[in-house]
Amino acid sequence: MSSKTPLSDAEAKLLSELNAGLPQDVDWKQGALDYVANILAQENGAAQRRFHLIKPFHSVYPETPINQQLTEFTREFSHCLNLLSILSVSSQTRFLDVACGSGWLAHFLAKLNLTVVGIDISPQMIELAQERLALDQIATVELDAFPHVGLYVHDIEQQPIDPGAQCDVAVLESALHHFVNPIQTLRNIADSLSDDGVIVILEAASDQQGDAYQAEIMERYDTLERPYSREQLVKALNLANLAEYQFFYPLNGFFPPVQSVADGVHYRILNDHVWNTVIVAKQSGGLARNLKVEGLCPVVMNVTNAAKSSRSPVAVESTGEIGLKGELAILRATAQRIVRKSIAKLKR
């Protein structure tokens, strides 16, 4: 049976605040496990399945106006592009796609010849992600498949990934709000990273307990949909015993060189908290070492005794953790890519 370190008073208080107003008799993890089966059982189940295989290129609802579809697509894809533009990435960087779902982010990182480990609690989501990769017959310029991608069923809220599979950059793309205990989840993600690793959190922000649409989704599927306010997320980061963080504003688009427009952009960057876009370092100085950006002013967090004590290992039952065979495949593919690039340089 699994066991957990008792919650500190501060952690219990924040979790109570985050989960206030939610139904108390819902098994949210079971809802996550049943989600794919439930959406595929709907009248538009075939469209739901295709949507998860091509996300974020199209809405699951054909009647959605094209302008709205384009807005949603550009927002999600821009998050990915902005992330890659700011990170210092090498051929040895390993990405951890947390709660990867049907694998769209892992897919596109892999097409850039990056090494990716995707994890999700749902076996059916992992199957969709595997199918998505299999349908792509031209993986990269060099490869017809994706040997440098590992997709695994794993409950990161319960335990970190295997120490031998540690990654360098963890990405939670619209994912953190799905976890019952985001604090423990963040701790386990940090323990799944190399010493100088960073966590990228891309979340819509909210000062309220969700909206009508989110409430409807939670009632229909028993999946947790409750975004955090900026203040709540900062508290969670502090309790997770992480070192430093920097919030960013996800600004995209073309802007005319007009003063009023510049003033509006300036105001939004400084004051708009609609998005909780934050990069968190596991160790002090990690942001400066991992990011290519001017003007960094990271907030250094105080490590509390309560947070320190909560970092003791969590004993859990196996939940399909990353296996040795899969890890060897990823490491082998990474080594092959490094050798190929070295040979290519020598031939120049």
- Contact of 203 with 228, CB cutoff 8 Å: yes
Confidence of residue 82 (pLDDT cuts 50, 70, 90): very high
The HSE-up count of residue 150 (CA atoms within 13 Å, CB side) is: 27
Show the tokens assigned to 291. Answer: 């990011």
Confidence of residue 150 (pLDDT cuts 50, 70, 90): very high
Show the tokens assigned to 219. Answer: 């009632």
Confidence of residue 151 (pLDDT cuts 50, 70, 90): very high
CA 315 from centre of chain: 24
Tell me the helix, strand and coil percentages in the chain, rounded to 5: 45, 15, 40
d(CA 8, CA 48): 41
- Contact of 38 with 223, CB cutoff 8 Å: no
Q: Which residue has the tokens 């892999």?
A: 110
CATH number belonging to the domain at 9-249+271-347, selected among 3.40.50.150, 2.40.50.140, 3.30.230.10, 3.40.50.300: 3.40.50.150
Q: Tell me the average pLDDT of the chain.
A: 85
- Contact of 171 with 98, CB cutoff 8 Å: yes
Q: How far apart are the first and last CA of the chain?
A: 58
The radius of gyration computed from the CA coordinates of the chain, to the nearest angstrom, equals 20
What pLDDT sits at residue 337?
Answer: 52
CA 210 from centre of chain: 20
- The percent of residues above 90 in pLDDT, for the chain, comes to 58
d(CA 65, CA 11): 42
The HSE-up count of residue 132 (CA atoms within 13 Å, CB side) is: 28
What pLDDT sits at residue 312?
Answer: 38
Convert the pLDDT of each residue in 153-212 to its tens digit.
Answer: 999 999 999 988 899 999 999 999 999 999 999 999 999 999 999 999 999 887 554 577
What pLDDT sits at residue 125?
Answer: 97
d(CA 333, CA 323): 16
Mean pLDDT (whole number) for 298-321: 48
Q: Which residue has the tokens 């990269």?
A: 140
Mean pLDDT (whole number) for 4-32: 88
Q: Could you tell me where the DSSP H helices lie in 167-275?
A: 182-190, 212-221, 230-239, 259-271
What pLDDT sits at residue 24?
Answer: 81
pLDDT of residue 324 exceeding 60, the answer is no
- Contact of 207 with 274, CB cutoff 8 Å: no
Mean pLDDT (whole number) for 73-84: 90
Show the tokens assigned to 257. Answer: 């060189």
Confidence of residue 143 (pLDDT cuts 50, 70, 90): confident
Mean pLDDT (whole number) for 14-20: 91
Mean pLDDT (whole number) for 240-269: 93
d(CA 23, CA 145): 44
Show the tokens assigned to 7. Answer: 């919650």
d(CA 106, CA 171): 10
d(CA 292, CA 283): 17
Convert the pLDDT of each residue in 203-251 to its tens digit.
Answer: 988 755 457 778 888 888 899 888 899 999 999 999 999 999 999 998 8
177-201 in b/e form (b: 16+ CB < 10 A) is: bbbbbbbbbbbbbbbbbeeebbbbb
Residue 178, classed as helix, strand or coil, is helix
φ/ψ (deg, to 5) at 268: -65, -45
d(CA 176, CA 320): 20
Secondary structure (DSSP) of 129-168? HHHHHHH-S--SSS-SS-TTEEEEE--TTT-PPPGGG-EE
Q: Which residues pair with 199 in a beta bridge?
A: 170, 280
Q: Where are the domains of the chain?
A: 9-249+271-347
- State the amino acid at position 270 in one-letter form: L
Confidence of residue 313 (pLDDT cuts 50, 70, 90): very low
d(CA 16, CA 328): 42
What pLDDT sits at residue 5?
Answer: 63
